[in-house]
Amino acid sequence: MPLDNKNISARVCIIGLGYVGLPLACLAARKGFEVSGLDINNRTVEHVNAGKSPIADKHLEKELADLKGRIHATTNPAECLSKNQIIVVCVPTPVDEKFNPDLEPVKKACETIALHLQKGQLVIVESTVYPGTTEEVVKPILESKGLVEGKDFDLAFCPERVNPGDEKWNLEKIPRVLGGFSDKGTARAHSFYAQLLGAPIRVMRSAREAEAVKILENVFRDINIAMVNELARSFDHLGIDTVDVIEGAKTKPFGFMPFYPGPGVGGHCIPVDPYYLIEKGMLNGFNHQFLVLARKINSEMPLYVIERVQEALNEFEKGFKNSRIGVLGVTYKGNVDDVRESPALKVIAELQKKGALLSIFDPWTTAQSHVSSLEEALKEKDCVVLLTDHKEFIEMPLEKLAQAKVKSVVDARNVWDKEKVKALGILYLGVGRK
């Protein structure tokens, strides 16, 4: 596909200033684009304009402080949409309570764009959607006021791959795929990302193919994590340490990629995106079995953690009711403040239902914490359950467990040295190891 870098504008509007939109806004501003950001959340807009990050992320906090005044955030579409040549959609794509894809935020953002759409603009969708959404949902809404894609404006899809909390793979370094409709539109989108990234950009044959790439990536993770979670449960019956086995398998230099068991998967992507393909497949006469099973296995893992806690309490002839349990971590993964779809929330709700007395501590989301220090969370607990692999928990001296008179631990992330814990006279259970 011919690509040209000529038809590029210096003005960008990012719609949705969250985990995806904010790093993109910062990168574009750093690269010299004039950047505005549109969001429906007043707090987010106020934070960005004040040079503060609405998300607890050291890199973003520094970037937004450095770039203060260079990203104009607003809740008013009229202030930013019509004057920008490039509009990038980064709004959420959740599922509803029945796990059906909820495209309302994408539709609403597109309706807003349509009201202000100008000839010559380029619209790019970065939100994760099922294959066909940009063509079947986004394009008709954008064309609803009379302008025609490919003639009056251009449209492309370029999925975001950002990995919050990852210091190595930041936005600029992550390769991208993108797909458009016309050669011109695709080339314009390519030019935009080529100016932002120091990484390869692969042009797919269509937006639909690029959408499918993103879904494949997330389904791949969900299925592989489900596979090791199932193995972990099986190995618990066999008395085999799953982590040791994975380390062994990793010595094979080809054909193996490690995934690790845990309390389930969380965040806005992995536990959500497979449902987009499951639904799209069903509407088109295909019944996904593998994807559904992976979702089921991963969704059941919080209950498996509860079983492990029960096993630990049994050793001391205790039930859940009134047992003292320290919970370490609420967020869905380590070193981020995001609790969306976090399996820890399910574990906590279940423990509360069973009448356990909880001391919850998460240094990354203090609003979710019951206690304000690690020491308080550990103090004289019948069981300490580690649910998030924050560096504060991985790096803590394990002697603290003994000093706090902890009786047992359920290390649902398998991050502690089990032999060391046992040597302290504390019962150790992991997920797939003991």
Ligand X SMILES: NC(=O)c1ccc[n+]([C@@H]2O[C@H](COP(=O)([O-])OP(=O)(O)OC[C@H]3O[C@@H](n4cnc5c(N)ncnc54)[C@H](O)[C@@H]3O)[C@@H](O)[C@H]2O)c1
Residues of the shown chain interacting with ligand X in the complex, contacts defined by CB under 6 A = 15-21, 38-41, 44, 90-93, 105, 108-109, 127-128, 160-162, 164, 268-269
* CB nearer ligand X, residue 13 or residue 246: 13
* CB nearer ligand X, residue 112 or residue 369: 112
* CB nearer ligand X, residue 221 or residue 433: 221
Give the shortest CB-272-to-ligand X separation in angstroms.
7
State the Cα–Cα distance between residues 390 and 333, nearest whole angstrom.
Answer: 7
DSSP assignment of 80-100? HTTT-SEEEE-----B-TTS-
H or E stretch covering 203: strand 201-203
Catalytic residue among 13, 110, 269, 383: 269
Calculate the alpha carbon distances from 241 to 94, 192, 236, 423, 430 in Å. 36, 48, 8, 18, 9
Instruction: Calculate the CA 315 to chain-centre distance.
Output: 36
Structural tokens at position 396? 């803590």
Buried b (16+ CB within 10 A) or exposed e, 6-25: eebbebbbbbbbbbbbbbbb
Structural tokens at position 386? 């580690």
Strand order in the sheet with 357-361: 357-361, 324-328, 383-386, 408-411, 427-430
The partner residues of 14 in beta bridges, in order of sequence, read 37, 88
User: Which residue intervals of 379-429 are DSSP H helices?
Assistant: 391-394, 399-403, 418-423
CA-nearest of 156, 149, 200 to 179 is: 156
* CB nearer ligand X, residue 235 or residue 276: 276
* CB nearer ligand X, residue 38 or residue 426: 38
State the Cα–Cα distance between residues 344 and 346, nearest whole angstrom.
Answer: 5
* CB nearer ligand X, residue 160 or residue 382: 160
Annotated catalytic residue 110: no
* CB nearer ligand X, residue 39 or residue 382: 39
The partner residues of 428 in beta bridges, in order of sequence, read 409
Structural tokens at position 367? 């609003």
Inter-residue contact 76 to 39 (CB < 8 Å): no
Give the shortest CB-162-to-ligand X separation in angstroms.
5
Give the shortest CB-407-to-ligand X separation in angstroms.
37
The partner residues of 72 in beta bridges, in order of sequence, read 36
Give the shortest CB-190-to-ligand X separation in angstroms.
19
Give the shortest CB-17-to-ligand X separation in angstroms.
5
State the Cα–Cα distance between residues 228 and 383, nearest whole angstrom.
Answer: 25
**Residue number closest to ligand X, CB atom:** 18
Give the shortest CB-266-to-ligand X separation in angstroms.
11
* Catalytic residue annotation: 269
